[in-house]
Amino acid sequence: MFPVSIKGVLLTQRFECVLALNDRNEWELPGGRIEIGESPELCLQREFYEELGISINADHLLDTYLFEVIPGRHVFIVTYGCSLSGTFSPVVSEEHIEIKVFPVESLPANLPSGYRRSIESWHAKL
């Protein structure tokens, strides 16, 4: 059994992806662990609000894969393409160091490849 983490790809109107810098100095997609009785879509809505203070809709399942977060520790990742529901004025929670938007063509080097693949997939669908 592996923990399950639901992550969301949110692109701005200028096709910039919203990423969060974690304590491992890696950029990641917003999201987190699903709770008992929660749908993946509701999990993402909750996590985006907790981590960034914004409301989203989880629109399209993009990918699922097993990710080795640190050596020997794996998490099952589920990514969704998302759309903004309301205004875009993110704030940084205590869970991350920084929130930033990056053009899809210029994603940071310290972004795990699975997240990059999901971002590119969602961008191609829009």
pTM of the entire structure?
Answer: 0.96
Spatial CA neighbour of 49 closest among 15, 21, 10: 10
Model confidence pLDDT, tens digit, residues 91-109: 999 999 999 999 999 999 9
115 contacts 79 by C-beta, under 8 angstroms:
yes
Q: What confidence score (pLDDT) does residue 34 get?
A: 95
Q: What confidence score (pLDDT) does residue 102 get?
A: 98
Q: Write down the H helix ranges in the chain.
A: 40-52, 113-125
Query: How many Å apart are CA 21 and CA 9, to the nearest integer?
Result: 15
Q: What confidence score (pLDDT) does residue 37 get?
A: 95
Q: What is the fold, at CATH topology level, of the domain defined by 4-125? A: Nucleoside Triphosphate Pyrophosphohydrolase (3.90.79)
Report residues of the chain scoring pLDDT below 50.
Answer: none
Residue spans of the domains in the chain: they are: 4-125
Spatial CA neighbour of 28 closest among 94, 89, 79, 84: 79
Q: What confidence score (pLDDT) does residue 125 get?
A: 96
